[in-house]
Amino acid sequence: MKGTLAAAFIALAAISAGCHHQPVYPGVGSVFITTTPFDAEIIIDGVLYQQRTPARIDGLPVGRRSIALRHYGYKIWRQTVEISPGATKRLEVKLKPISPAIVGLVSTEQWGNDMVLEPQRSRLYVANNTGTKLSVYQASGGLVAKIGDIELGHPQYLVAAGANGKGLAVTMEDSIMVLDLNWNQVVARLRPGRTKYTSVDISPDGRWGVLAGRDSSLTVVDMAGDSLLYVQRLAACL
């Protein structure tokens, strides 16, 4: 009897030794991230998550995951981490502050009143309220160099560019000029009313120009059609 029990115990021990526990969720894991400072955005494999640090992100596929953390005023932190089945990877990150530095200085020939950077060509357009030429600069590798002027015949006050790199809106004393950036030429000059403008902007697709006036007006310009759509008088000053 004792021999039988001993044999059964040895067999059970052998079976137990060869048994491997499988995770409940073998295909996913999680990561818990804390940062200094907190409230950093979390981007995993190019996807921006709603949670901000400190946060735990569950349901991540097992394997190597690319994680980025970003916070205003700090350098973006990037790292590739290994996510294990059913386990939580812990990350404690101290973000490095950005230290702004002047990489170049360019002296302009005119009194620059306003400027805008056109992102498609990395060109800087500087308005001149003491002359008649809109100055154009090229930004590249942290350096800025003047590449020319656009003669407009009048002093300029405000300037805005569309993100698509096609159109530019420039305000004068009492008018708006629409420029085609492909040719650096004026395609329209509009006079919606005798008012000075306090702000100008262009929609991301470059289709609409919007200007706020000192007379509480809001002017909308069709940049593609080079025409004035309407002028709306508002109750409050802009």
How high is the pLDDT of residue 226? Answer: 60
Could you give the domains of the chain?
Answer: 25-94 (2.60.40.10), 112-233 (2.130.10.10)
- pLDDT-wise least confident of 18-27, 69-78, 200-209, 224-233: 18-27
**pLDDT(182) > 90:** no
How high is the pLDDT of residue 187? Answer: 81
Q: Encode pLDDT of 122-172 as tens digits.
A: 888 899 888 888 888 888 777 788 888 889 888 988 998 876 667 888 888
Report d(CA 10, CA 61) in Å as an integer. Answer: 39
Stretch 191-206: mean pLDDT: 78
Is the pTM here over 0.75, yes or no?
A: no
| Token pair for 184 | 């650096």
User: How distant, in Å, are the alpha carbons of 60, 78, 89, 227 from that of 30?
Assistant: 6, 17, 6, 55
The larger pLDDT score, comparing residue 202 to residue 18, is at: 202
Which amino acid is located at 43 in the chain? I
Q: Encode pLDDT of 43-61 as tens digits.
A: 999 999 999 999 999 999 9
How high is the pLDDT of residue 206? Answer: 75
Q: Encode pLDDT of 220-231 as tens digits.
A: 888 776 666 666
Report d(CA 16, CA 9) in Å as an integer. Answer: 10
How high is the pLDDT of residue 42? Answer: 95
**Using 50, 70 and 90 to split pLDDT, how confident is the model at 35?**
very high
- Residue 63, φ and ψ in degrees, nearest 5: 125, -165
**pLDDT(200) > 80:** yes
For residue 9, how many C-alpha atoms fall within 13 Å in the half-sphere facing its CB? 6
